[in-house]
Structure 1
Amino acid sequence: MRLPSSLSFLVDKAIACEDGAVFLAELAATLAADGVPLAGGALTQLAPHPIIERRTFLWRADTGKVIEALGLAGPADADDVHVARNWLAALGAGVQVDFAGAPSDGAMLAWTASRQFSQAESDLLRQVARFAAAPLALLANRSTLVELLTTYLGRRSAAQVLAGRLRREPGETIRAGLLYADLRGFTELSEVSDAKDVVAALDAWFDRIAGAVHAFGGEVLKFIGDGVLAIFPIGERNAASACDAALRAVGAARAGMNHLNRARAAQGMPTLSFGTALHLGEMLWGNIGTADRLDFTAIGPAVNLVSRLEGLCRPLGHTVLVSGIFAAHTKQPLFELGEHKLRGITAPCKVFALP
């Protein structure tokens, strides 16, 4: 007996869907091919993410498009589930059927139509729910793996691990604007503060600097103690755009830290300061370590220079220093501090600072 298109899709092709949006759109298309008069559909899945608890994908028949609504941490019947139900009610004539369990079970698959479902259509949708359980579970496991790797390794490294890069190898050469930032006085802070207060201060600092980097299209490669190494890759944008983005990120981080320090001062807590260096160059990003314990690491002269340049912030009395190569690719007003010898680097570096 020939299976309906929707069941054939779930048996043969659903496991290849890259995410919930693709799964919902393709499943809805096959149900339409089976003659089910859908007006809209919704798929809600639990999300293994530090901030997001659920993802809800919403599909409408008149456009064939899927949009995504994110639900932050909260109870299982939180607003994002209500969003799905309200969306479906608005599209249909109040006809709504939930088939794949409650959100607490990991998924909710729901449909609406402009008229009452016939008995045959309802039976098919129930069969679809049964057949959808396995590919939805696989999709959830795949999503969990991606989110965990991205959370702990970052987007660039996670993509390489998922692609099977599990051996020591040179990796990729990246040309980018490099940002290295380091929290000042962290050792002293650790000596006089409780451990939980130190961790809270670190988290607040990383929120400001990493949040600013991401806001302007950069990538955090490594958290190094209380320091951060980030890049603004050159590829889709040119060197000037990458450098300007890095400078805007620094400005945003400084504003965020000023706001944080006002709050800390009001609570009688010590304020936090940081130094930042910006450079432009190439680095090698790849797997380094032992045969069975690897880490993605950035190496190369550009990485060495930007970290050594940041070490001049305190001696020169500036919180942001810029290399001559970086300065040549931006129109932002800078003033020159002369050439300086950097520890371990042969050639002196021309150094600039923000006004």
Structure 2
Amino acid sequence: MQLPSALSFLIDNAVDMPDGDAFLTALAARLMAEDMPLVGGALTQAAPHPVIEQRTWLWRADTGTVIEALGLARSSNTDQNHIARNWLESLGTGVVQEDFAGGAGASDGTMLGWTASRPFTAAESELLREVARFAAAPLALLATRSTLSALLTAYLGRRSATQVLAGRSRREPGETIRAALLFADLRGFTELSESTEAKEVITALDAWFDRIAGAVHVFGGEVLKFIGDGVLAIFPIGERDATAACEAALRAVAAARAGMDHLNRTRAAQNVPPLSFGTALHLGEMLWGNIGTADRLDFTAIGSAVNLVSRLEGLCKPLGHSALLSGSFAAQIRQPLIPLGEHSLRGIAAPCAVFALQ
């Protein structure tokens, strides 16, 4: 006896789906091929992440597209599933929903639901129940992979997480990346940590990192490292050219400044001192390598470009500017700059032409 197309897919191919979007789209297509009168489908899964708690994918038959809704941390799974069910009911008249919470092989919070242009027949409802039974195992695997990816990205960053998930678990030379580099450092952190309660120091650090890292991500950059109270980020050159990468880095600096200004107004109202930071921008190549001991590895950035941008940031205070640009970075942007001459940087052989923002 030949299995329905949807069940064959769940047995043979579903474990290879990269995410809920692909899973729901492929499964819906096979159900439609079985002449199911579907008008919509929904899949909700838990997504352990510092910001996101649940992910919900909503599929429409008339467009064949999937939209995604995110449930933020500390929202309840029940609420997110309730939203999905209400959406299904708004599209059609027949709704079949299967909750996998605590079910065999599926993760808590998983829900798979469908709606049709008319009430489902007994045979159609039975097929959907079989689909839910066969879907439990691949959905559990999908949830596990999604959780692993989310946690690795949260702790390692997107670039390193991708490498780890691809199985890079040995010391390797790494990849050469050409990018606009940004190094930013919080001013007066040593004094702050010596004179302030530890919890307040952590709160201040988190607020600072939210502003600078958030700005980097908004403009297409990647945070590679948190180094004490400093941040190393890149705006890779590839899909965009050097000028576009440098201009994105500048916009990120402006956004971080605006965010810190707002934060400092709040801190002033609380009678706590303001936070300031210095930033350096450089254009060059770096090596993103997997280094360490045989059984304890870390991804790190090395190379002359990394050394230069970190040393350049150290000139912000003595030169009296909150943002400094190297000559190679300055050559790529159009806005007027203040030339500050050439300066020797510790550990860098050649003097560096230095510019400041007007």
Same fold (TM over 0.5): yes
2:327 to 293, 308, 324: 324
1:272 Cα deviation from its structure 2 partner: 0.5
1:347 aligns with 2:350: yes
1:249 aligns with 2:252: yes
User: Within 1, Cα distance between the matches of 2:328 and 2:25?
Assistant: 48
Q: Which residue matches 1:307?
A: 310
1:194 aligns with 2:197: yes
CA RMSD of aligned residues (A): 1.1
Instruction: Map Cα deviations across residues 238-266 of structure 1 (whole Å, 9 max, x no partner).
Output: 11111111011000001100110010011
1:226 aligns with 2:229: yes
User: Within 1, Cα distance between the matches of 2:167 and 2:77?
Assistant: 35
1:333 Cα deviation from its structure 2 partner: 1.4
Q: Which residue matches 1:129?
A: 132
User: Within 2, Cα distance between the matches of 1:10 and 1:225?
Assistant: 47
Q: Which residue matches 1:271?
A: 274
User: Within 2, Cα distance between the matches of 1:340 and 1:101?
Assistant: 63
Secondary structure of 2:170's aligned partner: coil
Map 1:1-355 → 2, pairs under 5 A = 1-73=1-73, 74-78=75-79, 80-93=80-93, 95-102=94-101, 105-355=108-358
Residues 169, 59 of structure 1: alpha-carbon distance in 2 compared, 3 angstrom cutoff: same
Gaps spanning 5+ residues in structure 1: where? none
User: Within 1, Cα distance between the matches of 2:22 and 2:68?
Assistant: 11
User: Within 2, Cα distance between the matches of 1:342 and 1:76?
Assistant: 54
1:86 Cα deviation from its structure 2 partner: 2.3
Instruction: Map Cα deviations across residues 217-239 of structure 1 (whole Å, 9 max, x no partner).
Output: 10000000000000000111111
Q: Does the CA contact (< 8 Å) of 2:96 and 2:115 recur in 1?
A: yes
User: Within 2, Cα distance between the matches of 1:314 and 1:254?
Assistant: 16
AA at the equivalent of 1:265: A
How many residues of Structure 1 are paired with residues of Structure 2 in the alignment?
353
AA at the equivalent of 2:294: A
Instruction: Map Cα deviations across residues 49-94 of structure 1 (whole Å, 9 max, x no partner).
Output: 111111110011111111101111212222x33331222112102x
AA at the equivalent of 1:91: L
Secondary structure of 1:271's aligned partner: coil
1:105 Cα deviation from its structure 2 partner: 2.6
1:173 Cα deviation from its structure 2 partner: 0.3
Secondary structure of 1:99's aligned partner: strand
Percent of aligned pairs with the same amino acid: 75
User: Within 1, Cα distance between the matches of 2:26 and 2:109?
Assistant: 20
AA at the equivalent of 1:97: V
User: Within 1, Cα distance between the matches of 2:281 and 2:157?
Assistant: 21
Secondary structure of 2:77's aligned partner: coil
Secondary structure of 2:169's aligned partner: coil
User: Within 1, Cα distance between the matches of 2:313 and 2:112?
Assistant: 52
1:102 Cα deviation from its structure 2 partner: 4.9
User: Within 2, Cα distance between the matches of 1:12 and 1:100?
Assistant: 23
AA at the equivalent of 1:100: D
1:164 Cα deviation from its structure 2 partner: 1.2
1:162 Cα deviation from its structure 2 partner: 1.0
AA at the equivalent of 1:347: A
Q: If the length of structure 1 is used for normalisation, what is the TM-score?
A: 0.98
Q: If the length of structure 2 is used for normalisation, what is the TM-score?
A: 0.97
Q: Does the CA contact (< 8 Å) of 1:100 and 1:133 recur in 2?
A: no
User: Within 2, Cα distance between the matches of 1:204 and 1:161?
Assistant: 28
1:291 Cα deviation from its structure 2 partner: 0.9
User: Within 2, Cα distance between the matches of 1:246 and 1:150?
Assistant: 21
Gaps spanning 5+ residues in structure 2: where? none
User: Within 1, Cα distance between the matches of 2:145 and 2:81?
Assistant: 22
1:326 Cα deviation from its structure 2 partner: 0.5
